[in-house]
Amino acid sequence: MDILTLFVTIPVLTMLAIGFAKNTQQVRLISAVGMSIQLLNAVRLLFAFFAERKAGNTAEFLFTQDLVWFKSLNIHYAIGVDGIAVAMLVLTAIIIFTGVFASWTMKELTKEFFISLILLATGVFGFFISLDLFTMFVFYEVAVIPMYLLIGIWGSGRKEYSAMKLTIMLMGGSALLMVGLFGIYFNSNVAGGELTWNLQEIAKIQIPIEAQRMFFPMLFVGFGVLGALFPFHTWSPDGHASAPTAVSMLHAGVLMKLGGYGAFRVAMYLMPEAAQEQAWIFIVLTSISVLYGALGAIMQTDLKYINAYSSVSHCGLILFGLLMMNQTAMNGAILQMISHGIMTALFFALIGMIYGRTHTRMIDKMGGLMKVIPFLSVAYVIGGLASLGLPGFSGFVAEMTIFVGAFQHADIFHRVATIIAVSSIVVTAVYILRVVGVLLLGPIKNDEFLQLKDAEWHEQLTLVTLIIGIAGIGIAPLWLSDLIGEGLAPVVAKLLAAIH
Amino acid sequence: MDFSYSVLIPLIPLFAFLIIGLGGNKLKALASGLLGTTGLGVSFILSLYTAYQYFFVFGKSAEGVYQKIVAFDMVWLRFTETLHINMGVLLDPISVMMLVVVTTVSFMVHIYSMGYMKGEVGFERFFAFLSLFSFSMLGLVLATNIFQMYMFWELVGVSSFLLIGFYYQKPSAVAASKKAFIVTRFADLGFLIGILLYSYSTGTFDFGLLTNVDGELIRKGTEAGFLGLSMLTWSLILVFMGGAGKSAMFPLHIWLPDAMEGPTPVSALIHAATMVVAGVYLVARLFPVYALSSPDALEVVAYIGAFSSLFAAIIACTQFDIKRVLAFSTMSQIGYMMLALGVSGYGEHGIGYMASMFHLFTHAMFKALLFLAAGAIIHAVHTNDLREMGGLRKYMPITHITFFVALMAIAGIPPFSGFFSKDEILVAAFEHNKIIFFSSMLVAGLTAFYMSRLYFSIFWGKNTHYHHTPHETSPVMYIPLIFLALVTVFAGFIPFGELVTSDGKALHLHIHWNIAIPAVLVALTGIGVATALYMKESKTPDKVVASLGGVYKTILNKFYFDEIYMFVTKKIIFNLISKPIAWFDRHIVDGTMDGIGWVTTTSSEKMKNFQSGQLQQYAIVFISGVIALVLIFSYFSTN
């Protein structure tokens, strides 16, 4: 079986195997083994990809496969990856791997929980390997739907409300996507011949500008809802607050990235003229998002809300970078997807671990945790520093790439938007240091917390894996930036060609 | 000559940090201390060796000009073809000088801390952070390009944050560390935007290309204007904003006094000798651009420096916490360095540049000495408050003598080092701008006064009764004091003009007696006034204070700048921006989304009544529909 299809097969087999498990112990073990294999497969893909490139294979997408599965609508199971997709697959594999370990102590309905969790991941993996827009959309839905169950059943707080809200908003986004994708499909044969869903085929033609003007905003907003585009981000604070740890990790870590990925891979790549025309609207929205999310995070007291707003800010930066539409800024945007993915997974994992001990997420009820749970606290500080863009961690690399790219536009509009976005680095420092100061430092507020135990092995494994991820990218970013840059080149070329 | 070994100078502390940081729990406290200190010791020796090789053996070109040598360089991250961040080692007179300053002070502080921090909880953590700081600072100094400098700049900031907040269970330390980080971060925003603007117009980050006086880039951006100033001037002013934040220049100085919450060796290393002069170093690094292409930006540097210098010196006269007096003194002396750069020309008119670097060097030594001595005093009497001290000369003779040496140096009394460097600054100011010159003279007098006030209050004055009789510190703490005191005595005779100049060519300098003599007289007056007021216990200081009334109170409260900042952050940003945004998001944006949901559910709730299952009702609706349609169609067709 080819290496890409394995990305879907391994999780499916894991889910089947979980179905036969006899107890929680086995469920955990099977999930862990399955996802470890998945992670190894992702690493193998990375090396295989580099080897192919080194061997001189310059095709835009590698490891392609094409099987027809719905003849009358010409829907194919078409797969293939470029550098960006490879990076996203590795990211997803890391997050689901750590997500399994972060759910180690899950007690109720473990079998169903792990199956749903892995099903969600399967959708994400499938999405990133797809080259057929319809197949891509199917995988997208596979990723979104288990979310409802995962929050509604295993969540906390107002879980039904949050699950419903999240699902309905994302479904609203899906509806826009569906219409937009059909719009592309019915315009995919300008030169005559068969209609197609194939991304590569459609990229070769120019969709009529009237159609672009109509369908670009649908697709961009549709994906943008998932990428927490202001003002469609409000599912995120409630959703995250109610979701169980691993679900938050996966959701903020990779699912939200589907939004950004789709936005450039489908919306911008296939409809570059409309993207150039309408970018300004979304630049306004995203630069607002970046600062607004950060300012919104300052006064929050619930750890998950803080991280949710911080995600609004960081994900805003992803879309912002994409909309700058040059090689550098878009490269930064994708680095930011990966960086934010790992970082936010780290935060949600830590929040889950802290909540599991103190049974509260309110920072003003805690304090001085550094003294009692130093491992978790140091991990939190590292995550915080990464999040505020300290050099040596991935966030810095991503943000600086976006900013340098954005500064290549010399007109006043872009300059102002960029400076608004750049100024978020100060606000981010404010809310991060506030949390660190209140939560971890200072005297211990509650004597009960003196009994807390520090991280166990599976928690340490989760945290260390994620920290290695952000520090690794932060210390040696060149290979990743080159990997992404090469994948971006055709997209950027199309976008630049679309400038009148 | 191959200088590539110099890359080890920053890397050794990095490894020390990693080993202590990762293995901290398993290492014994003493082992981590020794590891950190030894590492720094090796870096110190390597730096001295580099300085020797560079200044006296291989540094000069055939024409006798000190060159810029790139000892190591690699691409770290590529943005575009020409814009890439490199990691490298740049050796030129100022970076080599800074290597010596940083490693000397850092090594001394390491040794001192072995005694000072003995028995403290978190001893390993302290040494890990010290190593991290040393690594970052050395990386900053050696940067080959402005983005590398910015990266290490941020790392230095975070090390400072970690060290100020070392006693993390103490709320005041946590608050101070936060304040330091956020204020400098705000300044760094300016720095970053400055870099981005500047590199956009020049297309490179590389110092070699940017500051090449024969190159074409040096004048890039001088034409396009915005609000009457050229783009280049704007970007240089923004870059300077970063420098002003780190170097605690007015109005971004408010973090420095609070930063004294950190352990005293940290104050000596970071907040006196090394990190706080990074801003000066930054301006010096880009000096050819400032001097040749943007005199307006340089003028800003001069005035900010001069004003900060005076402002801080006035406040220093009123403070009672010895570390805060020293903190304001640091701010004032850095103001000196800034103004010296600001009034300097390039090449043979570059006396201010040379004086600034010279003062940076001498100040680093004597101010580190003052802080370490203050640490010894605080260690002995367990208080920071001047009013609870007095008569310590009897108990702590070595600390007393070394402190006195530093006092003479900072007051500018010959032949101590401060005299020479300060003299050059005053000469440069005199040649360029009389207002700045007179303000600097005033600062010289104030400096002599407040430092003597400090000295007399600690070592003379009243005979305080202490709970525990104070005693001299252990050798591990006083040996660094003696070493730094020796440097302070002799550093003035280093021929700086021959070594460190703006264009690498030697400047032949002599002492300008027409300025030196008045300056020394002013300093002596300051010392004299302080002697009269503070040498013996007396009521006169209180009377003076009483006669000044509100003015004194304003100065004592540092002109209420903390309160102003508090007002802006707490009242305006938190309460008027952040809270409303959070509310707006929850109630308006989210409310709209919920509202849409509500409309949908409610309308479907109402609509479902139509599906009653009663045939009569369907028939009525059907018939009335048909009638309505018929009416409508007939109406339209008749028209």
User: Among partner residues A230, A292, A478, which is closest to B76 by beta-carbon distance?
Assistant: A478
The predicted-structure confidence for B54-85, as pLDDT tens digits, reads as follows: 888 887 777 778 888 888 889 999 888 888 89
- State the smallest CA–CA distance between residue B95 and chain A in angstroms: 22
Closest chain A residue to B76, measured at CA? A478
Sequence-distant (6+) residues with CB within 8 A of B225 are B231
Report the relative pairing of strands B69-78 and B225-226 from DSSP bridges.
unpaired
Helix (H) or strand (E) holding B90: strand B84-91
pLDDT in tens, B220-247: 777 767 777 788 888 999 999 999 999 9
Element (DSSP H or E) covering residue B77? strand B69-78
Which chain B residues contact residue A426 at CB under 8 A?
Answer: 182, 185-186, 189
Nearest to A442 among B169, B590, B592 (CB): B169
* Inter-chain residue contact B578 with A299, CB threshold 8 Å: yes
Compute the distance between CA of residue A68 and CA of residue A83 in angstroms, rounded to an integer. Answer: 25
pLDDT band at B1 (very low <50, low <70, confident <90, very high): low
**Distance (Å, rounded) from C-alpha B308 to C-alpha B311?**
5
How far is Cα A140 from Cα A393, in angstroms, rounded to an integer?
30
What count of Cα atoms within 13 Å lies in the side-chain half-sphere of residue A70?
11
Judge whether A471 and A392 are in contact, CB under 8 Å. yes
A477/B193 CB distance under 8 A: no
In sign, the C-alpha dihedral spanning B312, B317, B323, B324 is: negative
Q: Report the gap between the CA of A15 and the closest CA in chain B (Å).
A: 35
- Is A260 within 8 Å of A172 (Cβ atoms)? no
Q: At which residue do the structure tokens 């797809």 appear?
A: A130
Containing A275, the helix (H) or strand (E) segment is helix A272-298
Going by C-alpha positions, the residue among A496, A331, A328 that lies closest to residue A405 is: A328
Buried b (16+ CB within 10 A) or exposed e, B147-177: bbbbbbbbbbbbbbbbbbbbbbbeeebbbbb
Upper half-sphere CA count for residue B584 (Cβ side, 13 Å): 14
Q: Which residues, listed in sequence order, are joined to residue B91 by a DSSP beta bridge?
A: B69
Summarised one tens digit per residue, pLDDT across range B541-587 is 778 777 877 887 887 787 788 888 888 877 777 777 878 888 887 77
CA A94 – CA B408 distance, rounded (Å) = 61
Range with lowest mean pLDDT among A102-116, A225-239, B139-153, B532-546: B532-546
Q: What is the pLDDT of residues A52-110, one digit of tens each?
A: 888 888 888 888 888 888 888 888 898 999 999 999 999 999 999 999 998 888 888 88
| pLDDT digit string, tens, across residues B363-390 | 999 999 999 999 999 888 888 888 888 7
Reduced to 3 states, what is the DSSP secondary structure of residue A420?
helix
pLDDT digits (tens, 9 = 90+) for B86-128: 999 999 899 999 999 999 999 999 999 998 888 888 888 899 9
| A residues 413-432 closer than 8 Å to B (CB) | 419, 422-423, 425-426, 429-430
Find, among B555, B573, B554, the residue nearest to B182 by Cα.
Answer: B573
CB pairs under 8 A between A and B: 126
pLDDT of A500 above 70 = no
**Which A residues in the span 284-313 are in contact with B, Cβ-Cβ below 8 Å?**
292, 295-296, 298-300, 309
The residues near B565 (Cβ < 8 Å, ≥ 6 apart) are B254
Q: Which of B407, B140, B372 is nearest to B277 (CA)?
A: B140
B615, amino acid identity: L
pLDDT digits (tens, 9 = 90+) for B335-362: 999 999 999 888 888 888 999 999 999 9
For all residues of chain B together, what is the average pLDDT?
87
Answer yes or no: are the C-beta atoms of A194 and A74 closer than 8 Å.
Answer: yes
Share of chain B above pLDDT 70, in %: 99
Q: How far apart are CA A308 and CA A296, in angstroms?
A: 10
Of B147, B192, B574, the CB nearest to A299: B574
CA distance A403 to B274: 29
Q: What is the DSSP letter of A72?
A: T
pLDDT at B418: 87
Residue B560 corresponds to which tokens in the numbers above?
Answer: 């209420």
Within 321-380 of A, beta carbons closer than 8 Å to B belong to 327-328, 368, 370-371
Identify any residues that bridge with A70 across adjacent strands, giving them in sequence order: A75
B94: Cβ contacts below 8 Å, ≥ 6 apart: B281, B284, B285, B357, B500
Look at A404 and B83 and tell me if their CB atoms are within 8 Å.
Answer: yes
Render pLDDT for B489-517 as a digit per residue (tens, 0 to 9).
988 888 888 888 888 888 887 778 888 88
How far is the alpha carbon of A152 from chain B, nearest alpha carbon, in Å?
18
pTM as predicted: 0.91
Alpha helix positions (H), A157-234 = 159-185, 199-204, 209-226
The three-point CA angle B47-B50-B51 to 5° equals 85
Residue among A295, A405, A429 minimizing CB distance to B577: A295
Averaged pLDDT, A296-320: 88
| Nearest C-alpha in A relative to B80 | A328
**Helix (H) / strand (E) containing B69:** strand B69-78
Strand partners, A77: A67
Q: Indicate if the pLDDT at residue B24 is higher than 70.
A: no
Q: Enter the DSSP assignment of B523.
A: H
Q: Is B48 or B592 the better-scoring residue by pLDDT?
A: B48
**Three-state SS annotation for A120-131:** HHHHHHHHHHEC
Burial letters for B250-268: b for 16+ Cβ neighbours within 10 Å, e otherwise?
Answer: bebbbbbbbbbbbbbbbbb
Tell me the C-alpha distance between B202 and B271, whole Å: 33
What's phi and psi for A57, nearest 5 deg?
-80, 110
Strand positions, DSSP E, A337-479: none
How long, in residues, is chain B? 639
For B181, residues 6+ apart whose C-beta sits below 8 A from its C-beta are A429, A433, B157, B158, B160, B161
CA of A439, closest CA in chain B: separation in Å? 11
Verify whether the Cβ–Cβ distance A391 to B155 is below 8 Å.
yes
CA distance B526 to B516: 15
Angstrom CA distances, A448 to A390, A437, A444, B258, B503, stand at 34, 20, 10, 32, 65
Q: A478–B75: do the CB atoms touch at under 8 Å?
A: yes
Helix (H, G, I), strand (E, B) or coil at B73: strand
Pairing of strands A62-70, B69-78: unpaired
Which pair of tokens denotes residue A234?
A: 């409000």
pLDDT digits (tens, 9 = 90+) for A429-444: 988 998 888 888 888 8
Q: What's the confidence (pLDDT) of residue B294?
A: 85
**Band (B391; pLDDT cuts 50, 70, 90):** confident
Ramachandran region of residue A259, left (φ > 0), alpha (ψ -120 to 50) or beta?
alpha
The pair of three-digit structure tokens given for residue A407, joined into one six-digit string: 């500064």
Asked if B154's CB is within 8 angstroms of A298's CB, the reply is no
One-letter identity of residue B567: F
Three-point CA angle B273, B476, B326, nearest 5°: 30
Average pLDDT of B34-41?
A: 92
* Rg value, chain B, Cα: 31
DSSP, residue by residue, B239-254: HHHHHHHHTT-TTS-T
**Residue A297 burial (C-beta neighbours within 10 Å; 0-12, 13-18, 19+):** buried
**How many angstroms separate the CA atoms of B547 and A453, rounded?**
60
Distance between CA atoms of residues A274 and A286, nearest Å: 17
Cβ-contact A242, A151 below 8 angstroms: yes
Q: Which residue has the higher pLDDT, A240 or B572?
A: A240
ipTM metric: 0.91
In this structure, are residues B191 and B241 in contact, taking their beta carbons and an 8 Å threshold?
yes
B120 min Cα distance to partner chain A (Å): 15
Backbone angles phi, psi at B398, to 5 degrees: -70, -45
The Cα–Cα gap between A257 and A398 comes to 14
Q: Are B84 and B146 in contact (CB under 8 A)?
A: no
